[in-house]
Chains A and B, each alone.
Chain A
């Protein structure tokens, strides 16, 4: 029973982390209409960035404070260099160009950090955990990560629902041309959205770094699972990404308990079930 509880907690915490990555993906597609396969690379660069920054700062949260703006600027540059050429092109070319970006980012990672896994320390004041039973405890750092993700999710919902930029984002999601016709510079909007998406993925990578080892290709499972989350939640929907991510996190955790051999298939089965019932995702516009 304790194992199930721990797994459930892990599942929710994993889901929250995935939400950060998936929300970036869903925003970029919902607003810009771009399929960004290199989204997982931003997660990977976030994790490796955390490795290097923590070596200097000694604290993962200081690395976070430094890393997120860096990731934002990096996303800004990547959009300017590559992504902006994709807006008038079809999905196929977007898939291709962002796939090529993965090759480049992976190689860059290998040159800069090598092929061996690394670990990032949990800060001293978050060592240890909450005692759940006689034998089991739940690490403070995981609790902190979960709390951070929830806070960020709430902040995002606030920005999107209540602020001017949020209103533009929501408008752009449902009618891109109209937003342009109203005199909003969509190039700037897109650059901002893409950079935010990159920053979100990197944020997830940074806070996840102390949870597991940092290794080459760390972003790829995150990319795939983010896709699944976006499909389940409905493209462009932050709320959908949130619900989808938690569902996936819990399904994955329970799958590991009950069907250990096929645990990774459980999330895909969940996705298939959602698609059969609602081909546009849970919160999506009709597909």
Chain B
């Protein structure tokens, strides 16, 4: 999870801020305008970083909202007098946000490559709308004749036509935008966004409606870009349709990556660096000055002229070199020097009696369940009951349909026919997050935790999934209950306290599997669906996890697939045997061991060894 900025980062940012505050006292009008533009671009690119670096959605159409924000100033400005910024700014934010809701609700359906393309296409759609039609000046662009002012009644508070005032306003807006996003990504809401970035399937299985979270992130980013856009329009009082186009979106991505995606401050540094490089490459005299440091003046002048003439080619090469040499951007360099982030200390938890009160484990009933893939019937008319507070094993040879079976139970696949009832609630065909919220939690064959999060953060993410309010920005609300759930889960899953604040990527394989179980417990799941929880474990770890499962069954129902026959016969209360998608037998381990059909169909290979 994104940590608070390290001291080194804070020092750098404060130095830049001090420089910016002092700039109007020594910089000329050109420098001031240049810096104003960087500030506004900074707001635009950090809003994009919320999508790219935090939520993991590479949007190639973000300029759409920037451009819409800019055009909204044109829409709201009277022809020959100033618009009131008290209205213009909220209008821009609302317009960009509203369009982001519409576009996002389609675009967020897609992922990865598709998302990139779809956002690009929508951006171009916006561009052609302004380019081809006359709604706002068409190809020639739109002019805002008078800069906006903040006024109440006839009292003018501050005017954007004063360059210095406008500069300070943009600087303040950038600082506040940064602090806002920094706060946002560290709330439980932001934690979910980062979880989605690293493992969306897991987040969905935990009970988060990832579509809604991603859409929310998209809309917030769009609205912020609209805010940046309205300020941008006030720089020159001119808006061109190209502002919505894909080049602008591409440049914004450039700046995010150049600075370091996912750090929030990085993209601002990226915007600064990019603007300076571009300005330098355009200027023959500056290039000559730089080149003459290493060569004679005549050559430097000649080369400077050539480069400045084809500055965008030079910019292209610069960007390629930057991408290949420093994939983590400027922030990557800074973080290398800044050392490992300090994470906040966990608070002491006072156990409270009422919260301790255990909820009841759940009963799962499956009736005539089938799932077909085309002609192949992977699960075929299975009916079985899993009573609460027991450990239920599902066994069967490879290809018996075990994984399909639990994928259908958890909502990852829709059943072709049949019913699944969790405590008399039909959950068959419901979305995974819905099933998870009802109290059914699942783990995966391959270890599936959010690797950049610590064990505790992983559990916190799971714990917040159990409280129905989907978007939470307030850390305090229900926080104690969550913290307690996290501590209990870590303890119940046997994760040592000194390992709880280590990133999951640095935990051992066995610990990661325990962490998965801890996440399920923290999520408040009352029925745990585990896909080969013992896979890849040594005998000692197997023993520990088996004992853990027995303990957990005191207040959970546990259903697991397992290949380790000795372990599962020892741990399970009931066994369900699937063969070729059909239920072959269901009973206690003793009954299964003595079942003739099972012996014949399946046990042959190991039945001799595993004697009663």
- Give the B-binding residues of A (Cβ under 8 A): 29, 35, 37, 82, 85, 89, 91-93, 95-97, 99-104, 106-108, 110-111, 220, 224, 227-228, 230-231, 235, 261-265, 268, 271-272, 275-276, 279-281, 287
Q: Which residue of A lies closest to B103 (CB)?
A: A272
Given contacts A92-B52, A92-B257, contact A103 B315 (CB under 8 A): yes
Question: Is the pair B118, A93 in contact by a Cβ cutoff of 8 Å?
Answer: no
Question: Is the pair B310, A111 in contact by a Cβ cutoff of 8 Å?
Answer: yes
Most buried by B among A95, A107, A228, A262: A95
Does B12 sit at the interface, judged by CB under 8 A? no
Question: Is the pair A231, B106 in contact by a Cβ cutoff of 8 Å?
Answer: no
The minimal Cβ–Cβ distance linking B330 to chain A, given in whole angstroms, is: 14
A29 to B320, CA, bound (A): 20
Does B109 sit at the interface, judged by CB under 8 A? yes
Residue-wise, chain B 92-134 has the 8 Å CB interface mask toward A (1 for contact) of 0000000000000010011111101110111011001100110
Question: Is the pair A29, B113 in contact by a Cβ cutoff of 8 Å?
Answer: yes
Given contacts A108-B313, A224-B246, contact A275 B113 (CB under 8 A): no
A216 to B129, CA, bound (A): 22
Residue-wise, chain B 408-444 has the 8 Å CB interface mask toward A (1 for contact) of 0000000000000000000000000000000000000
Residues of B within 8 A of A110 (CB): 310
A169 to B138, CA, bound (A): 45
A21 to B118, CA, bound (A): 18
Given contacts A111-B310, A265-B129, A271-B118, contact A101 B58 (CB under 8 A): no
Q: Which residue of B lies closest to A99 (CB)?
A: B250
A139 to B337, CA, bound (A): 66
Residue-wise, chain B 203-221 has the 8 Å CB interface mask toward A (1 for contact) of 0000000000000000000
A91 CB contact (under 8 Å) in B112, B317, B324: B112
Question: Is the pair B106, A96 in contact by a Cβ cutoff of 8 Å?
Answer: no
A231 CB contact (under 8 Å) in B52, B60, B118, B257: B118
Given contacts A92-B52, A104-B317, A261-B132, contact A276 B106 (CB under 8 A): yes
Q: How many A-B residue pairs have CB under 8 A?
A: 118
B113 CB contact (under 8 Å) in A85, A97, A235, A261: A235
Residues of A within 8 A of B113 (CB): 29, 35, 91, 235
Interface residues in B240-258 by Cβ distance below 8 A to A read: 246, 250, 253-254, 257
Does B323 sit at the interface, judged by CB under 8 A? yes
Does B536 sit at the interface, judged by CB under 8 A? no
Chain B, interface size category, equals: 35 or more
A287 CB contact (under 8 Å) in B114, B124, B316: B114
Given contacts A91-B113, A95-B60, A107-B316, contact A227 B120 (CB under 8 A): yes
A227 to B113, CA, bound (A): 10
A101 to B250, CA, bound (A): 12
22 contacting pairs across A/B (C-beta < 8 A): A92-B52, A93-B323, A95-B60, A95-B250, A95-B253, A100-B254, A103-B312, A103-B316, A104-B316, A111-B310, A224-B120, A227-B120, A231-B117, A231-B118, A235-B114, A261-B132, A261-B133, A262-B132, A264-B124, A275-B109, A275-B114, A279-B114
Residues of B within 8 A of A224 (CB): 120-121, 124, 246
Given contacts A103-B319, A261-B132, A261-B133, contact A91 B122 (CB under 8 A): no
Question: Is the pair B106, A275 in contact by a Cβ cutoff of 8 Å?
Answer: yes
Question: Is the pair A97, B110 in contact by a Cβ cutoff of 8 Å?
Answer: no
Closest 7 CB pairs of A and B: A103-B316, A107-B313, A104-B316, A264-B128, A100-B319, A268-B125, A100-B316
Does B27 sit at the interface, judged by CB under 8 A? no
A231 to B268, CA, bound (A): 32
Question: Is the pair A262, B133 in contact by a Cβ cutoff of 8 Å?
Answer: yes
Given contacts A97-B323, A104-B317, A227-B117, contact A268 B124 (CB under 8 A): yes
Residues of B within 8 A of A37 (CB): 250
Residues of A within 8 A of B327 (CB): 89, 93
Residues of A within 8 A of B118 (CB): 231, 271, 275
Residues of A within 8 A of B320 (CB): 82, 97, 100-101
Residues of A within 8 A of B246 (CB): 220, 224
Interface residues in B291-327 by Cβ distance below 8 A to A read: 310, 312-313, 315-317, 319-320, 323-324, 327
Question: Is the pair A85, B324 in contact by a Cβ cutoff of 8 Å?
Answer: yes
Residues of B within 8 A of A287 (CB): 110-112, 114
Does B261 sit at the interface, judged by CB under 8 A? yes
Question: Is the pair A272, B317 in contact by a Cβ cutoff of 8 Å?
Answer: no
Question: Is the pair B316, A93 in contact by a Cβ cutoff of 8 Å?
Answer: no
Question: Is the pair A100, B317 in contact by a Cβ cutoff of 8 Å?
Answer: yes
Question: Is the pair A268, B122 in contact by a Cβ cutoff of 8 Å?
Answer: yes
Residues of A within 8 A of B116 (CB): 35, 91, 95
